[in-house]
Amino acid sequence: MMTEQRAQDTNRQLHILRAEDWEAADIHTLLTKAESYAAEPRCQPIPKRLFAVNLFYEPSTRTKISFEAAERNLGLEILPFDVNTSSVCKGESLYDTVKTIESVGADVIVIRHSKERYFEELQDRIKVPIINGGDGCGDHPTQTLLDLMTIYQEFKGFKGRNVVITGDIRHSRVARSHMKLLKKLGALVHVSGPPAWIPEEYMPMFVPIDDAVRQADVMMMLRIQNERHRDNHTETKASYYERYGLTLEREQVMKKNSIIMHPGPVNRGVEIASELVECSRSRIFRQMTNGVFARMAVLTHVLKNARGGKVHE
């Protein structure tokens, strides 16, 4: 009989649920694979007639489209799913929806859901790979991977690099995922933004924005997650930009070779000056490009594990 530890190890290999589950070696393996796909993106190494389903219970542009592009580049066929025209509208549970999709022959399922740690009810009961496309304020592992890829392309490593994550830290799954893995890889991680939006455990990492811009190798800006705020915050767009945003004046004092990142969607003139979104420091659109390659690497990884290595690479 499979022990509990063996079952956990099997699930860890089958699903991609939390960024913190990756060790440094796992990250470097996935980054190497992602870079190989960047060199030849439309390689179609997956045997035909494997099916992917993308269950997005929350709105998405970058993550959903890049998963679809990654799946098509690999040769996967996409079974369409629209939450607004599905049995979810009739009260079907997440588990029953996922179990149905597994039963009709899906080979991999990507899920974004507003419920934090939604996957806990699925991971031991679903036998095809689940990739977490974002869970509430919890985690976003593939966003972390594509951002690590972008940083690695720039600096050829992580050790000693100063990364400042700035903005609505409390409600950001990106911030949580990134901090854990960047530290594993040897980066120096700090946070900035409104102190009321920074969890207490992260306050030792806090630096004011005017200090952050001077010391950062990477300024990673985050938007205000208005849809997740239970309190009606009174911060106006103009005051937020003046007090915490990456203004043109703040960009002028950044280190010579430092870069600007943002997971999107970008609110120009709120967390970042519109002129900086596509400036020479910005890697925002490169992040989006890298998202396709990073997700190709993750899809190949989980399908290879699920099919006993019978996936060409």
Tokens of 46: 């997956």
* Domain covering 4-140+290-306 in this structure, CATH number: 3.40.50.1370
Rounded-to-integer distance, Cα 252 and Cα 258, Å: 11
Rounded-to-integer distance, Cα 286 and Cα 299, Å: 20
Rounded-to-integer distance, Cα 21 and Cα 23, Å: 7
**CB within 8 Å of 82: residues ≥ 6 apart:** none
Question: What is the separation, in whole angstroms, between the first and last Cα of the chain?
Answer: 33
Question: Which helix H or strand E contains 288, and what residues bound it?
Answer: helix 284-306
pTM of the model: 0.91
Domains 4-140+290-306 and 142-283 share a fold: yes
pLDDT for res 2: 40
pLDDT for res 221: 97
pLDDT for res 283: 98
Domain ranges for the chain, please list them: 4-140+290-306, 142-283
The strand order across the sheet containing 218-221 reads: 188-192, 162-166, 218-221, 259-261
Residue-level pLDDT, tens digit, the chain, 313 residues: 444 444 445 555 799 999 999 999 999 999 999 999 999 888 878 777 899 999 999 989 999 999 999 999 999 999 999 988 898 899 999 999 999 999 999 999 999 999 999 999 999 999 999 999 999 888 999 999 999 999 999 999 999 999 999 999 988 888 988 998 999 999 999 999 999 899 999 999 999 999 999 999 999 999 987 776 766 666 788 999 999 999 999 999 999 999 999 999 999 999 999 999 999 999 999 999 999 999 999 999 999 998 765 555 5
Tokens of 95: 């588990």
Helix, strand, coil % in the chain, rounded to nearest 5: 50, 15, 35
Q: Which 8-state DSSP code applies to residue 126?
A: -
Q: 77-79 and 162-166 as β-strands: parallel, antiparallel, unpaired?
A: unpaired
Rounded-to-integer distance, Cα 285 and Cα 266, Å: 11
78, 70 contact by CB (below 8 A): no
pLDDT for res 173: 86
Q: What does the H/E/C string look like for 168-184? A: CHHHCHHHHHHHHHHHH
Other Cβ atoms within 10 Å of 39 Cβ, number:
8
Among 243, 305, 249, smallest CA distance to 271 is for 243
pLDDT for res 235: 76
Query: Which residue matches tokens 């980054």?
Result: 31
Q: Which amino acid is at 24?
A: A
The class (CATH top level) of 142-283 is: alpha beta
